[in-house]
Structure 1
Amino acid sequence: MRSGFSANCPLVRLTHAFDSFGLREDSSAPGLVAQVDQHVAGVRDSLSRDGLPLTRRSLTHYLQGFLDGCRERGWHSDGADYDWETLRLLAVCRLAREEGFVC
């Protein structure tokens, strides 16, 4: 792991937790992969509209705000379905991995 990274970082914790049921590159559900791709684009667009470059810090802040909103709405993932929130979280995980923010 790069220096300056912490296992306590929300991106690291989330990505490692979601790895247990998240999408793999060899996923047999191409429609699901396409949905996550759309969410990846949505996260990038959201950061861009806010004038933020995609960095570990900006993605972490996005994640924290997103999770706060989920908690306010009472959302809980049971891991049994890929609802909108779960797809968005998988997108954040993918971005964190692709950008090298999480090993």
Structure 2
Amino acid sequence: MATDYDAPRKNDEENEDSIEELKSRRNDKNSGKVDEDEVEAAEAFELPGADLSHEELTVRVLPRQADEFTCASCFLVKHRAQQAMEKNGLVYCVDCA
């Protein structure tokens, strides 16, 4: 282990002061507590498999655009630039072709 001989040395008095401070902090029972509302913190968490039956979802559906198609394999709406092939009247994207 390298030793820096140019670093200032600590006095024993400094160590005694810091030990006394640590002892007083340890005796202070409120020093480790965090002031946080548990109910408010719990509401922010989203648990997997949670019951969302009481929630409502509003979605605005746009009509089909002229430059879009729905892939017959993955059923995703894609831009015409991603069209790979058309077979039996069904259009497929480049990812599914």
Range into which the TM-score falls when normalised by the shorter chain: under 0.3
TM-score normalised according to structure 1 size: 0.21
Indicate the structure (1 or 2) with the bigger Cα radius of gyration.
Answer: 2
Question: In proportion to residue count, which structure has more helix?
Answer: 1
- Structure ranking higher on relative contact order (CA contacts 8 Å, 6+ apart): 1
